[in-house]
Chains A and B, each alone.
Chain A
């Protein structure tokens, strides 16, 4: 596609509910990143994929967070048993290769009530 596509755009979840956030990167982009951005803060790294391989998940805040990219294109970030502190904008970004700047999607704003 022309850009990085994320869905849903907004998600309201009740505390304890599981959520799944989708990212469709730019076609042909090898690298895919997930970031979490709290209000008034910069994006915080969560995890990185190179094709289907998850090479770095050091930023995932807890074992309730899980990401996958099974066929090296679309990725899903899953959050189990959501908590209020999970409320944030979740940004997906892709890049063609190492050394390139990232292109971000529009993000998913998650609100846990």
Chain B
């Protein structure tokens, strides 16, 4: 079992819809969770982080964390074609906070 699991997609949503991206992790001791966006041919860029159970909102993005279920999600409201990218879930692991990434979910927002 990989440490961080994501559905590879593609997840296809119409413009204006809510995109829901999901991630599960295996290390029950993990405390910090990150979502990165990666456009094709570009490097990952941090869009959200969450440490506490519950929801964290930033603009059109909401990160949700459920430590009991070892589950993290990212919701993108009012999806735009410019949101089309691969979304990487990452979890801190180890004493010095090594980031472990999932394989990413490819999101396609169509007009």
Contact = CB atoms under 8 A, between A and B. Distances in A.
Interface string B33-72: 0100000001111100100000000000000000000000
B98 A48 contact: yes
B94 interface: yes
Interface in A22-45: 31, 33, 35, 40-45
B98 A107 contact: no
A102 B46 contact: yes
A62 interface: no
Q: Is the interface of A mostly helix, strand, loop or mixed?
A: strand
A44 B102 CA distance: 9
Interface string A11-23: 0000000000000
A55 B6 CA distance: 28
B46 A101 contact: yes
A101 B100 contact: no
A50 B96 contact: yes
Contacts of B8: 40
Interface residues of A, number: 24
A99 interface: yes
A103 interface: yes
Nearest to B47: A101
B43 A104 contact: yes
A35 B88 CA distance: 14
Contacts of A98: 96-97
A55 B96 contact: yes
B98 A42 contact: no
Contacts of B22: none
Contacts of A31: 96
Contacts of A103: 46
29 contacts: A31-B96, A35-B101, A41-B103, A41-B104, A42-B6, A42-B90, A42-B102, A42-B104, A43-B88, A43-B101, A44-B101, A45-B98, A45-B99, A48-B96, A48-B98, A56-B96, A91-B43, A91-B44, A93-B99, A98-B97, A99-B32, A99-B97, A101-B34, A102-B46, A102-B99, A103-B46, A104-B44, A106-B43, A107-B43
